[in-house]
Each structure stands twice: as C-alpha cells, then as structure tokens.
A = this chain, B = another copy of it.
Amino acid sequence: MHISMSTACLPVCARMLTNLSHILAKAEQFVETKKIDPTALTTYRLAPDMFPFTRQVLISCDAVKNGVARLSGVEAPKFDDTETTFAQLQERIQKTLAYIATVPAAAIDGTEDKEITFPAGPGKTRTLKGQDYLTGWMLPNMYFHITTAYTILRHNGVEVGKIDYLLGAQG
C-alpha cells in the first residue's frame, strides 16, 4: 500500500470520530450510573471563553465534514447545530460518518496541490494546497477538538483513558 491523500484522510477521520462516539458512550453511562444531570458535562467549559463540550463535538464533526468536502468536492450535508443531548451528539457523529462513507477515495486522491480556501477566524480566509490543508490544518483541528472534548470528560471524572481516544472500543 502507498500513502495517498485518501488513505491519509478518510480512514483517519472515520477512526477518530468512531473513537469519539465510544468516549461519548462512556460519558452517557457515567451520568446514568451516577444519576448526574447530563448538562453538567455537555455544557462544561475548561475556561469561561472556551467552547463547551457540545460545541467541541460539533466542531470535531465539522472539521471532518468540511475538510472532506473541500478536498473531494463532494457536497456535504448542512446541519443546524441544535444538538444538546448525548443522543443528539451521537447522531451528529453518525451523520458525519455516513457522509464521509459516500466520498470515493478517488475524489480525494491527487488533491495534494489543489488550492483550498477556507475560513480561518472571523472574517478571514486562508488558502493552502491540499496536502498542507489536510496535514497542517484539517487534521490538527480535528485532533484539537476531539482531545478537548475528551479532556472535559476526564477533568469531570469520567473514566476514560488515552486508549479510548486512540483505539475506541478496540482498546
């Protein structure tokens, strides 16, 4: 097997969103067992001006969805960002996984030098070539928000470990 834009992107994103779903399932189990108000976790922020847990999950999904759409040119579904519960967040992850499963590898292969213009902060855009966009923006951004979602749960006592992040249910 040779590394290609599609193999550096699609299975990586699918695995990490699947692992995020696994981590969310552990959080759901935690609030049920402890009889905790789930919003104690879903609205939790690690700093007053950081995004809460729900938003970390939504951005993780959108980092993948928008990144795959920009590289492949395969139109992505629009979501309304109204999710508040663990069940709704799980559904959002599944919808994102379903979208990327429709994207053929061939639509991403060969996009190393494709010019990608994307929003980068309020009122700003940046343009990078496909490979730089994938390895220097899209994937670091996905990992950032998945790790932050994980850390919010971990900080609040949910019994997750790095192996859940790396391997999901296979851990």
Contacts and interface: CB of A to CB of B under 8 A. Distances in A.
A112 B129 CA distance: 23
Nearest to A142: B143
A79 interface: no
Interface of A: 1-5, 7-8, 11-12, 15-16, 46-47, 50, 112-113, 121, 129, 131, 135-137, 139-141, 143-144, 147-148, 151, 154-155, 157, 162-163, 165-166
Contacts of A147: 143-144, 147-148, 151
Contacts of A4: 3
A137 B131 CA distance: 20
Given A47-B154, A112-B1, A131 B7 contact: yes
User: Which of A3, A136, A157 is packed against the most chain B CB atoms within 10 Å?
Assistant: A3
A166 to B, nearest CB: 6
B112 A141 contact: no
Contact of A8 (B3, B15, B129, B141): B3
